[in-house]
Amino acid sequence: MSQISTDNTLELSTTERFLSIFTEVKPGEGVTAMLLFANVFLILLAYYFIKPVREGWISVANIQGLSPIEIKAYSSFLQSIMLLFVVGWYAQLAAKWDKVTLFTRATLFCISNILIFWVLQPNFFFNTFSAMGIIYYLWVGMFSVFVVAQFWTFAADVYTNERGKRMLPFIAIGATAGAAFGSWMVSALIGKGVLPSEALLLMAVFPLLASIFIVRKVAVRESLHAKADAANPVKTEAVEKPSILSGAKIVLLSKFLLLAALVAMLTNWVNTNGENLLFSVIQESLMNDAQVQGITGEDASEAFIKDGITIFYGNFYFWVNVVALLLQAFVASRLLKYGGFAALLLILPVIALTSYTVMALIPVLGVIKIMKIAENATDYSLNNTSKHVLWLPVSSATKFRSKPAVDTLYVRLGDGLAAITVLVGVQMLSLSTTGFFAFNVFLVLIWLIVGILLVREHKRASEGEPV
């Protein structure tokens, strides 16, 4: 579907020669690749303005009888239930609207929500209330469906299987670059007190508006070749009429979709367990700091903890994304080219197995932070690329219905299982930090087995077998 000349004698443009540093590029591929690169850069820039605010707001969502780690974990569980219906709703919209209309209206809807949250920020027009942090936390999960996941669905649909394996790793550099730059701006502006943390919400609006313009421009370029694509039709499979629960049920249509959903769920279950433990340690550290600094009063303490967590996660995400950017720029495409899809998909569980084994043996903050940076950086780069390459052999119809469900609903089901882990581990078993990390090691072993099975199904799909 892309603007590619069939004349192999054409020389690479200056832009394409530059892109060749990162991946194999053919004549005519540069412009669309750069537009998609810029688009995902802007989307992830906006997301990393939104995301640290989420951590700050949920940190002051006090619910009597629940610890901070329980509040965050149970909010994730509610988010997974909400996404069951959100993804089904999205599937209905995808069946009703064309891709550009869907992207435009979904993004504008999220922008309107951002402005509403800015007005409702704690201690602005209204006093602080605990529910706001939880509501915003739930909404960020919806944002990941309507903006982040739909971009990758759009990008995977632009490219054929062969071209996607070459170009998606480069486009993903834009995602990690946008995330790294957004995290750096949070640290620079909020950490130094230049702007209040809630100003990040307004800052997120402008890159999202620009992303709509770029998607429309890409769509114009790709539509020029619709007739050429019609001469080479691909086999598509029949799909059922979407319903509000179709996002949950669609993975039952094939072994490929089921394994993809299980890998997504296990990946996030493991990662969220680690995130919850890190959040708990940081929360306790800031509470101790507030006491040491003599900060008294409920409002002053809440403001100190909220801003401290926002600053910490801005800095933490910065380092995660810097490492992810290096991996994405110089490792992802080469690993895919020489190691194949299997190496790209299985490298994260291998690193996670090593990381959580180390954390179980040495459960201290410094070690946890380093290991989480290693895990998250690999997740945001190499594993992120594998998640999108996975869908290249799948038909457009199934892609737009099932990929958002797998990338969001089943990812958030992993959050829900992490919440149950907290409930059982804290309330029933009184697990130590070491116990939680040991449980994660067990989960990673299951994840590796399911990942190997998914690699086999992906190979069959790439050879032309229907999904």
**Per-residue pLDDT of the chain in tens (467 residues, 90 and over written 9):** 444 444 444 678 888 888 887 777 888 788 888 999 999 999 999 998 888 787 777 766 666 667 666 777 777 778 777 777 777 777 778 778 888 888 899 899 999 999 998 888 766 666 655 677 788 888 887 787 678 878 888 887 887 777 777 888 888 888 888 988 887 888 788 766 777 778 889 999 999 999 999 999 988 886 644 433 343 333 334 444 555 455 566 677 789 999 999 999 999 899 989 888 887 777 777 778 888 887 777 777 777 877 777 777 777 877 887 898 889 888 888 898 889 999 999 999 999 999 999 988 887 777 888 889 999 999 988 998 898 889 888 877 677 677 777 877 787 788 778 888 888 887 788 888 788 888 999 999 999 999 999 999 999 988 877 76
Helix (H) or strand (E) holding 229: helix 226-230
Write down the domain spans for the chain.
Answer: 21-462
Other beta carbons within 10 angstroms of residue 100's beta carbon come to 16
pLDDT value at residue 138: 83
Token representation of residue 359: 């954390």
Please give the full DSSP string across 86-137, using - where no structure is assigned: HHHHHHHHHHHS-HHHHHHHHHHHHHHHHHHHHHT-BTTTB---HHHHHHHH
- Identify whether the C-beta of residue 182 lies closer than 8 Å to the C-beta of residue 49: yes
Q: What Rg value do the Cα atoms of the chain yield, rounded?
A: 22
Contacts of 43 (CB under 8 A, 6+ apart): 147, 148, 151, 175, 178, 207, 208, 211
Of 270, 461, 454, whose CA–CA distance to 378 is shortest? Answer: 270
Contacts of 197 (CB under 8 A, 6+ apart): 52, 53, 56, 190, 306, 307, 310
- Identify whether the C-beta of residue 359 lies closer than 8 Å to the C-beta of residue 437: yes
CA angle 403, 405, 408 (to 5 degrees): 100
Token representation of residue 42: 């802007």
Helix (H) or strand (E) holding 430: none
pLDDT value at residue 17: 85
Q: What span, in angstroms and rounded, lies between the C-alpha atoms of 384 and 361?
A: 28
Contacts of 18 (CB under 8 A, 6+ apart): none
Four-way CATH pick for 21-462: 1.10.10.10, 1.20.1440.60, 1.10.3720.10, 1.20.1250.20: 1.20.1250.20
pLDDT value at residue 233: 39
Residue 340, sorted as left (phi over 0), alpha (psi -120 to 50) or beta, turns out to be left
Contacts of 148 (CB under 8 A, 6+ apart): 43, 44, 47
- Identify whether the C-beta of residue 94 lies closer than 8 Å to the C-beta of residue 408: no
Token representation of residue 105: 């209206």
